[in-house]
Structure 1
Amino acid sequence: MARTDPQLNFRIPLELRDRLSEAAKENNRSLTGELIARLEQSFGEASSGDGGATVVVPFDSAAALKRFADQLDKMMLDRHQAYRAEMIKEFGYDPDAPQIKREPNKGPVHSPNTKQPKK
């Protein structure tokens, strides 16, 4: 942090300051560094430094954990749908379509979801 950065003076409960100081020691940061890291996390500005995404997970409550799980589910679903669309576009392959499995020397074995050929 540069000396030209603005200073901010504020009052904080002693117990909270002690908790922040302990967290700063555990994370090998100064008290100011710990405050800045936590504020950046709260605004979603944390980064891994290598260009990859960093997930900040402050689980202060069960509700926070549920929100995170819901966000993770949505992210995974979005990625799956994008992958599926790409496979269909590139190869004409739909992984969700019923598949016909072939066994050696026996012919096709139809999955329960496919219509059986008329005899």
Structure 2
Amino acid sequence: MARTDPQVNIRMPEVLKGNLQESAFENGRSLNAEIVHRLEMSFLRETAASEGAVVATIPALIDEANGELLIREIADRIVERVFSEDEMERFQALQNKKKPK
């Protein structure tokens, strides 16, 4: 994120800010990056939920795997089936940004 990106000042309950700060620390992000990440993820989830794709995909993935896939592998496969290529590229870009260099 660049300093030229627009700024938004908001008010929030102190407890919520504390939760965000704690989560940001645990995830190795700044408070701003944590808020942006959570907002972006909420839009991605909203897109998937509106299509009903997640719910419809899980049983098929479990059947394909004969119940042997790890949860992370199932989640990765759901993401691949649910999101468009553009959404996946955006998600991967977000993941790459949060990795320490």
Task: State the TM bucket, normalised to the shorter chain.
Answer: 0.3 to 0.5
Higher relative contact order (CA 8 A, sep 6+): 2
Bigger Rg over Cα: 1
Superposition TM-score, scaled by structure 1 size: 0.41
Which has more strand, going by share of residues?
Answer: 1
Q: TM-score, normalised by structure 2?
A: 0.48
